[in-house]
Amino acid sequence: MFKGVFTALITPFRYGEVDVEAYKKLIEWQIESGVDGLIVAGTTGEGQSLSQEEFIKLIEVAVDVANKRVKIIANTGMVSTLKTIELTKIAQEKDVDAVLVIAPYYIKPSQEGLFQHFKTIHDLTNIPIMLYNNPNRCSIDINNDTIVKLSNLERIKALKECSGDILRCSKLKQEISSDFSIMSGDDQMMLPLYTQGAVGVISVVANIVPALVVQLHNLWNESKINEAIEIQNMLMPLCEALLCETNPVGFKYAASQFEICLPDVRLPLVQLTEPNKKLIRESLQVLKAKLYESE
């Protein structure tokens, strides 16, 4: 289930409300570009700033538009176990393919607390689960021993890895079953983690250049390593520019340059400063020039 390119979707807003029409067009474009799956209401989708009604609407629209052409994964990870279970059950009822569950942020539980958190969610729901490890966001790392224990549970099937530890992937591959997938959660770490056994990427830059990320993934799978590295190198400056401010502020501004949606974000996020808008515009122009040269 978990391999290939999964886009962590932005949530388009128009004057404070979810822009459903822009969202539908974004999903259709992603599917036409060849992605394998879509993450709904994640960090990139400003999931923590959505009401429950908006969360449900985004899932319903994604499931309807995708119509089984790609996998739909809903982000249901919250700071409390009970709230995570509640959202996971809602997502399950809405016929998503799986849920993404991040480590509880702010609380900083022990490794045993992390294990019991994920195990309880697993035991009280009936849907495949992708763990999400992001110590930078959560101030807690799901360590390897905990991941291995969790991978033995029936429906915990994958890990979105954002620790920055390149070797973690290869170490885990020695201890987990072959049907447990490790996905890069960072566009800039995509190829490094692929060399260590990752089988896909949860991509944010795919909101802007989905076909290019799909091409990079396919080149790697075809053992065209030099060509894959060339595309990764082309993407790196853009990825760095897009992260000039907190995700997804830069990505939404870039999307607005392609008329995908407005650059609107919700507080406490605010729109880019003028210098950073210029930085992103210039990075997009450089990438466009490089793509033209390579044709």
**Catalytic residue list:** 132, 160
Amino acid residing at 104: P
Instruction: Measure the CA–CA gap between 205 and 10, rounded to whole angstroms.
Output: 10
At 294, which helix (H) or strand (E)? helix 274-294
Q: Is the separation of the CB atoms in 70 and 36 below 8 Å?
A: yes
* CB within 8 Å of 107: residues ≥ 6 apart: 79
At 6, which helix (H) or strand (E)? strand 4-8
Q: Compute CA distances 277 → 22, 46, 74, 84, whole Å.
A: 21, 20, 30, 35
CB < 8 Å & 24+ apart, contacts of 227-231: 228/191, 229/191, 230/294
